[in-house]
Structure formats: structure tokens, C-alpha cells
A and B are shown apart, each in its own frame.
Chain A
């Protein structure tokens, strides 16, 4: 879908922003991860055909973004992270204007602007000046303008930044819907790993201007024998009894006086299947109550840090 070969870009003097990056972004939703200064911005700039003075090849959906940048941009919608609007225009006017610049005829642009603004849930606010929008509404506006010309690839730069929990959920749902039901490809630059883990199919990791690998979410490995445990009505007998039945418990912080305590429970990997039964039995025998028993699966955060540290240099 998106192919980068041997991409190198330096801004005079400083260490290069990207060093010989070769990567292939598959279809679907892809997280673009990396610490600050990893080169994510430069990569986005390049995919949009707005980077100059670099070496290497970039192909967006089969279009050479270096030689035909405008053709590439026709296929791409971009949602910037920072607040952005068009001065003295209402929401619908601004989106229609951007749609026209994206190649839509005048009337179609206006109609389409209503379509996408409605889809992102801006409702009646579309007739108001964007300057008066709240953070959440501005975020929606930015998503709508990225969709107005119906691009095949959508680039999102921290789409949930500044949103409250409900706003985050809705933004993630919108993104998921575009990918799943409308076949859009999404490349999503983010620092919020749990969100990416939930919504992306794979992540591409950059670090210090270098490509550090692609990781598919389905490859997140289970950790056999390891459980997260939350217990209520705990008595010292529970821990003793658990130990006796071959479960090692480690407390996971928290208040001593809270009625519920959290542990990491570990059994021999071979006994993984029966661990739940053992723990439930232990609780029943000691008058405690198990409220959560969750097999530990590697999370994206640890994969991410593993990829960063892969070459032995400090993150």
C-alpha cells in the first residue's frame, strides 16, 4: 500500500531525520510509532509529497510521491495534530473549500462537505465559525476535512490528542468504521499505545531516524502461567493457601486498606489451564472472592520498548 525505499533526509548539520529507511506499510490500520524525534513527522511529510531534498523512493498506492506529488496527495487525506482551521469560514464552507482544492466541482464540494461533517457528528455546528468550536469539535472538523475528497489513504497525526474519554471512544470508532466498512487505509501516528493496540492491525516503529520493524497485533504473545488477579475479602490464609497449591503471588501496589487487592499470580506454564480452578478454589476455601482473573498477554508497550532497545542503544 505504502512503500518506502532507502529514504534518507537530513536537515543540514544535525543527525539525519531519516536514515536509509526501507519499509512497506500493509493495508488496513497501521500505527506509526516512535519517540519524539524518531522521524515520524518527516515520514508523513514525505508521504504527502511535501518533503524536498531527500534521497530514496516513496510510493503511495502505486504513485511515486516524489515525482508526482500532486497525484499522490489526491489519494491521501491528512489530519494534522495541531489545531488548524481556515480563517473566517464556517465549518461547512472551509471543508467545501478544501474539497474544491482536492478536485471536487463546486456544488459537489458543498454537498460532500455536509456529508462528511455529518458523518463525524458535527451536526448543526457546521454553520458556525470554526474558531468558536470546542477541542472535540475541532478534532472532528479536522477529520472531516481529511475525508472530503474520499481519499483511499488517511494519515492521522495524534487524532485523539486533547479529547476526553467519550471523545476518544468516538474518534476511535470513526477510524475503525472507515477502515472496516469502507476499505480505507489508515496510517496513524500516535504516542498512546493502548489505543493503537486496540484499533490497529499492525504498527511500524521508527527510532532515531531508523526503521525498527513492523509488528502485527495478532502476534502479541500470551504469557502462559501468568495471571492478573484481583481479590476481595482477603485474609492472610489466602496467600498461604495459594502458595501451598503452587501459585506464586506478587502484590501489585495499591492501598493496604482497600477492600480489593491486586496480584500477579504465577503457576508453572504447564499448569496454566488448571490455574483458574486452583485460584477460585483457594478463594472459596479462605472466604475470599476473586473479581478478576486475567491471563497476561504481552502488551504493545513492552513490544514497543523491546523494538526500541533492539540494537542496544538507549531509548
Chain B
């Protein structure tokens, strides 16, 4: 028989595990996922993806009908171009919705990423562990990109693959070749979105311990930018160019919507196409925001005071 002592027990197991930034990332992604806003928005996006998929499927079928062909009779490659237009439209619709969702997510949940920690004085519990400030900043900075990866990138790629599969037999290969820059555009979208939104949320979030303030700031930047861009549409020269770069949602959407507008040859589309944000400018803004947000959080974590 053995009688075990009650009370405190020393730890007899091993030490070791994944790097700290990974643990922080995981914990935060989990926490964001559990929020109500995130759940609602995920369901919305899922419905959106299904609707757009159906639309695409119907559009491809309709094109076949209009061409007066029974499925077996089409000339090879005859319908690839119209399917491409349909896919680009579907992507434009989906990513416009996704960008709205990401904007809301950034405002509702992202703004709390660091602000909530500051309010809870969580840094006095976190930074006294064997971790570096850079682990904390990295973990926090990757939360939004990580969520975007599954919520935004995956559905677009699936649509692209499905649209190919729905082509006339034998056209699939030709379709994917004709639309080979779609994955690249989605990738660019993802990078811009990840950088810009993550940077913005960290920047506003690390500046205050009140989540409401951070949310309001993020909303002001996003919507304010939208308005400024609207003004920029009617200005010429470099002032207009700069103003047109201020809308984060438009910046990140540009790689997705410009290919679609290119397929439409009316004057209005051309006018808008000419006034899309400059891609390198958008990239600099996204990268800059990310860097600034990251540095701000890093500094905040580094300068933690364990007692007041």
C-alpha cells in the first residue's frame, strides 16, 4: 500500500515544446475563433462561398445553353473565355464580401488583441516567462493572417479548381492555363490583407487598454480611408494618386477586381480600372503598417513593468 502526500507536488516531467510565438499564436487564434463575431462572420462567409459557387456553376451552364450546344458538341476551347469571365466575377463578389468581413473582424475582434491584454495586465504574467518580446509580437501579428488563410484564401482556390472541373471535357486544362494568374492574385490579396489589417489592428490595439477606443480607431481608419479614396477618384495628379491609396479594403481588393474589369470593355469599367490603387503603393502601405504594428507591440512587450 502507498499513501501519497497531499498538497504541492514538484513537476517531474520534461521541459520543451514548440517555440513561444507559436504557442501564443495558437492560444490567440483559439480565443478569436471562440468569439461570437468570428462565428457569425465565418458562417456568413461560408454561405457566401456556397452562393458564389452556385452562381458560377449556373453561369457556366447558361453559357453552354446560349451557345446552343449540347454538352458533347462544343468546339474545344470555345467556352473557356466566357467561363473565365464568370470565374473572375465570382471571385470579385466573394472577395468583396470577404474584405468586408475582414474589416469587421479587424474592428470587432482584432482591436482587442493587445488592448485586452493591456487591460488585463496580462503582460505582467506573460513576459515573466522565458519568452522574448519578439515572440509576443510575432504571435499576435500572425493571428489575423492565420485566420485569413483558411477563411479567405481557401474558398477562392476551391472555386478556381471547381470552375475548371465544370468545363467541357477536354477544356479543363485550357481553362486553368487561361486563368493561371488567379492563384497569384489570391496570394497577393492574402499578403496585402494580412499585412495591412494585422498591422492596423496591432497599431491601434497596442495604443490603448480600452478595446472600444481601439475599435473606433480601426473603424475610423478603414471607413475614413474609403471616403478619402472616393475624393481621390475625382482628383488628378499625384494628390489623387495618394488619396486613392488610403482605402485599405480597396488596396487589398485591387489584385482580385482588376482582372475582372479588364474583361469588361465599357467606359465606366475602364475609368475605374485606371483609378485603382497603384499596386506597389498598396504593397508599401501594407508592409509599412505591418512593420509599424509589429514594432509597436514589440516595444510595448519589451517595456513591461512588473509592478507599479
Contacts and interface: CB of A to CB of B under 8 A. Distances in A.
A70 B120 CA distance: 23
B13 A108 contact: yes
A119 B7 contact: yes
Interface stretch (B23-31, B62-70, B192-200, B268-276): B23-31
B307 A44 contact: yes
A231 interface: no
Given A41-B306, A82-B124, A101-B126, A182 B10 contact: yes
A87 B118 CA distance: 9
A87 B124 contact: no
A145 B15 contact: no
A162 to B, nearest CB: 15
A85 interface: yes
Given A71-B130, A88-B116, A177-B8, A105 B121 contact: no
Interface residues of A, number: 49
Contacts of B302: 52
Contacts of A86: 117, 120, 122, 125-126
B240 to A, nearest CB: 42
Interface in B3-23: 7-11, 13-17, 20, 23
Contacts of B15: 74, 103-105
B307 A82 contact: yes
Given A82-B308, A87-B117, A103-B15, A73 B31 contact: no
A101 B129 contact: yes
A27 interface: no
Interface in A100-155: 100-106, 108, 112, 115-116, 119, 142, 145, 147, 149-150
Contacts of B27: 89, 97
A98 B8 contact: no
Contacts of A112: 11, 13
B34 A88 contact: yes
Interface-centre pick from A45, A86, A157, A177 (highest chain B CB count, 10 A): A86
A73 B262 CA distance: 58
B128 A76 contact: yes
A32 to B, nearest CB: 11
B74 interface: no
B193 to A, nearest CB: 24
Q: Number of contact residues on B: which range applies?
A: 35 or more
A84 B120 contact: yes
A178 interface: yes
Contacts of B24: 101
A98 B10 contact: no
A98 B119 contact: no
B129 A98 contact: yes
B307 A98 contact: no
Nearest to A71: B130
Given A80-B121, A83-B121, A182-B10, A105 B16 contact: yes
A182 B125 contact: no
A163 B35 CA distance: 33
A181 interface: yes
A84 B125 contact: yes
Given A52-B302, A182-B8, 17 more contacts: A40-B307, A41-B305, A45-B306, A71-B130, A78-B128, A82-B124, A84-B120, A87-B31, A87-B117, A88-B31, A88-B116, A104-B11, A105-B17, A108-B14, A119-B9, A150-B10, A177-B7
Interface of B: 7-11, 13-17, 20, 23-24, 27, 31, 34-35, 112, 116-117, 119-122, 124-132, 302, 304-308
**8 tightest Cβ-Cβ pairs between the two chains A and B:** A150-B11, A87-B116, A84-B121, A70-B130, A101-B129, A103-B15, A78-B128, A41-B307
6 contacts: A45-B307, A82-B308, A84-B124, A86-B117, A102-B130, A145-B125
